[in-house]
Amino acid sequence: MSHPAPHPRKIIIDTDPGQDDAVAILLALASPELDVLGITVAAGNVPLPLTQKNARVICELAGRRDMKIFAGCDAPLAQRLVTAEHVHGKTGLDGIALPDPTMPLSPGHAVDFLIDTLRREPAGSVTLCPLGPLTNIATALAKAPDIAPKIAEIVLMGGAYFEVGNITPAAEFNIYVDPEAADIVFRSGVPIVVLPLDVTHKALTSREWVERMRGLGTEAGRAVASWTDFFERYDTAKYGSLGAPLHDPCVIAYLLQPDLFTGRQIHVAIELEGRHTRGMTVADWWRVTEGAPNAFFIGGVKRDAFFDLLTERIARL
Ligand code: BDR
Ligand code: CA
């Protein structure tokens, strides 16, 4: 007996591309299990005019000129924008020269798209996938609190605990850029899955994998190889490890194959005041407080299977 194909899972990707955001977006667009309703863009790795342009470059590369891409917030809720050109280069997508995009942005603000979509779609049917600072998501939750119970899940890349910080000794970049936004999201009551540095620093590219990407002989394969090469030089210099951590693709891989990952349901608080620790994700991994669990905090990944999944999917583009 043949079974009908299950409906693809509806997602909205919220992003600030970024080379690893780009690989995550390609992975999602290559995966029939996912129905990407739209891509909302925020300022983060580089300012908004560049992140929204990069999102369009990536979709055109994937042959998806039809994708809805919305520009969103250009600054964090309560502080000035911190960017990461030292990691991602001047354009945010350094590593390979790609044509300027010709597809337009969708009209309207990313926050309104998030609100309208969540109000329109059946409750529990849309998953949000933030790959950058949480400004757009928090603004939508603050403006329209009625959407919170309608969100199926928020699966995000951000934070760190045992691995501590990458932008300060205590804080991970996405959370550090907009701690007030992260605080709103983590206190929203929406089910949250966190892919922190604790796991993404285990998802390190190997030379062999990068050359496999290049060897695909496709534009997407060449781009992934060149982006990760660019990204790697920073992490190698900083951590002394070989390979680039594919942070954001972990979010999409989790949606596709959650059994590749292990974690714990725990309480996570966002530090807003610490003199040295602002933006830290204070994760109660050992459950030493009464804090009610609000997040599934991931710590482990089956690395080889993760890269096999990426290879198989990127090869489809
Ligand atoms: C996160 O920060 C960005 O630089 C990456 O794209 C990733 O989302 C890692 O800390
Ligand atoms: Ca990112």
247 noted as active-site residue: yes
SS3 sequence of the chain: CCCCCCCCEEEEEEECCCHHHHHHHHHHHCCCCEEEEEEEECCCCCCHHHHHHHHHHHHHHCCCCCCCEEECCCCCCCCCCCCCHHHHCCCCCCCCCCCCCCCCCCCCCHHHHHHHHHHHCCCCCEEEEECCCCHHHHHHHHHCHHHHHHEEEEEEECCCCCCCCCCCCCCCHHHHHCHHHHHHHHCCCCCEEEECHHHHCCCECCHHHHHHHHHCCCHHHHHHHHHHHHHHHHHHHHHCCCCCECCCHHHHHHHHCHHHEEEEEECEEECCCCCCCCCCEEECCCCCCCCCCCEEEEEEECHHHHHHHHHHHHCCC
Is 0.95 topped by the overall pTM? yes
pLDDT digits (tens, 9 = 90+) for 60-117: 999 999 999 999 999 999 999 999 999 999 999 999 999 999 999 999 999 999 999 9
Task: Spell out the domain ranges in the chain.
Answer: 9-314
Q: Which of 201, 247, 267, 276 is catalytic?
A: 247
The CATH number of the domain covering residues in 9-314: 3.90.245.10
From the CA of 131, how far away is ligand 2's center (Å)? 4
Ligand nearest to the CA of 177: 1
Residues with CB under 6 A from ligand 1: 18, 20-21, 45, 84, 87, 131-132, 157, 166, 172-174, 247-248
Ligand nearest to the CA of 45: 1
pLDDT digits (tens, 9 = 90+) for 151-173: 999 999 999 999 999 999 999 99
Nearest CA to ligand 1 atom 10: 173
